[in-house]
Amino acid sequence: MAIKNIGILTSGGDSPGMNAAIRAVVRTGLHYGMEVFGIHRGYQGMIEGDITKMKTTDVSNIIQRGGTILKTARSKEFMTDEGMAKAYAQLQQHGIDGLVLIGGDGTFRGAVNFFEKYTIPAVGLPGTIDKDLSGTDFTIGFDTAVNTAVEAIDKIRDTAEAHDRLFIVEVMGRDAGYIALNSGIACGAEDILIPEMVTDIEHVLCRIDRDERRKKTVHILVVAEGDDFGGGAKVTQTIKDRFPKLDVRMCVLGHIQRGGSPTYADRVLASRLGHAAVTALQEGNTQVMAGVMNDQVVFTPFNKVIKGTSPISPDMLDMIRVLAS
C-alpha cells in the first residue's frame, strides 16, 4: 500500500548536515505527493505528540545551518514498553504510515526495539559525527566535525610552537576514534590515541622522551575522549607526572565539533540520502538505513547496522607513527 504520510525525526547527538537531510526528505516527500510531518525532539517528541505538518517553505534557507530545526533528544522513556506504546499511539493518531529516522547508533537501536513490537515502514539516515555505523562509508556530520577539529588543532599548533609546549587535544568519540584519527593525521599529530587500539602509554612517554632529547619542542597528541587509558585528562596528568619540567597543556574541543555550517560534502551526502530514503519508502524497501558505499547508495537492515562494526583500516594505524617520527 502506498505510503501517504511520513514522519521525520532527528535523534541522539545532533550533527552538521541534519538540516540538509530534513530539507531533502521534506521536499522529496512532497514531490511524491505525500504529507510530511516533523516530529520534534526525536523519540521523546514522538511519545509526547510534538508533531507538526511541514511545507516546502519550512525547509527554506536551512541547508547551510548546523544543528537541527526539528531539535533532538536522547529519550530514556522510549526504551520502555510504555514509552513505545505511547509513541505508536501518536503515530496512529496523526495518520503517519512511514518514518524517516536520522541519527546514530542509539537511534537505530531504538528503532530495532520499536519495530519488534510495532509494524510501520521506516528508513534511516546515518546522522552522527562519530562515523561509527556500518553500511556507509561516511555519516552525515563527520566531515564537518573533522574539519572543525583540524582548524582548531592547527591553531593550537601555532601557540604550542610559540611557547615550546606539549599539547594534548581531546576530540569527541566515546566509542569511535575516527575524528581523532583523521584530524590527527591531517594536523601531523605526534601521536593519536583511539578507543579501537589499546593505548601503550609507555610507548607514548618514550616518544616524548626521545623528542625531548632531540629538541623537538612541539608535540601534539590527539586523544579521543573514549581512549581506553582514560581520555585527555588522564593522559595529561601522566605526562606531567613523568616530565615535570615540560610545559604541558590540555585542550578539550568538545561540542564545537558538533556545531557549525556543514561542509559541502555533508550537504551533498545528506541531500542524496534524504532523497534516497523517501524513494526507498515509496518503493517498499524499508527497515533499512540508506548509506553510501563506493559512491553508490546502498541499504542495510537496521539490525545489521547496529551489530556491525566499521573497522579502522590497519594501514592508517601503521601510518601514524611513521609520519610523526
Residues that bind ligand F6P (CB under 6 A): 13, 104, 128-130, 172-174, 225, 258
Q: Which is nearer to ligand F6P, 29 or 127 (CB)?
A: 127
What count of Cα atoms within 13 Å lies in the side-chain half-sphere of residue 77? 15
Nine-digit cell string for 127: 546522522
Q: Which is nearer to ligand F6P, 207 or 258 (CB)?
A: 258
- Which of 97, 130, 143, 266 is catalytic? The answer is 130
Q: Which is nearer to ligand F6P, 32 or 229 (CB)?
A: 229
Q: Which is nearer to ligand F6P, 50 or 130 (CB)?
A: 130
Q: State in angstroms the smallest separation of the CB of 288 from ligand F6P.
A: 21
> What does the radius of gyration of the chain's CA atoms come to, in whole angstroms?
22
CA angle 37/43/47 to nearest 5° reads 85
Nine-digit cell string for 38: 516533523
Q: State in angstroms the smallest separation of the CB of 42 from ligand F6P.
A: 12
Q: State in angstroms the smallest separation of the CB of 224 from ligand F6P.
A: 9
Count H helices and E strands in the chain, helices first. 11, 11
Rounded Cα–Cα distance for residues 180 and 195 (Å): 10
| Residue environment code for 41-70, b if the CB has 16+ CB neighbours within 10 A, otherwise e | bbbbbbbbebbeebeeeebeebbebbbbbb
Rounded Cα–Cα distance for residues 129 and 1 (Å): 35
Assess whether 154 carries a catalytic annotation. Answer: no
Q: State in angstroms the smallest separation of the CB of 112 from ligand F6P.
A: 18
Contact assessment for residue 130 and residue 179, using Cβ atoms and an 8 Å cutoff: yes
Nine-digit cell string for 17: 548536515
Q: Cβ contacts of residue 84 below 8 Å, gap of 6+?
A: 78, 113, 114, 117, 118
Contact assessment for residue 84 and residue 114, using Cβ atoms and an 8 Å cutoff: yes
Q: Which is nearer to ligand F6P, 13 or 38 (CB)?
A: 13
Nine-digit cell string for 320: 601514524
Q: Which is nearer to ligand F6P, 9 or 172 (CB)?
A: 172
Rounded Cα–Cα distance for residues 178 and 132 (Å): 8
Q: State in angstroms the smallest separation of the CB of 144 from ligand F6P.
A: 12
Q: State in angstroms the smallest separation of the CB of 232 from ligand F6P.
A: 13
Catalytic positions, written as ranges: 130
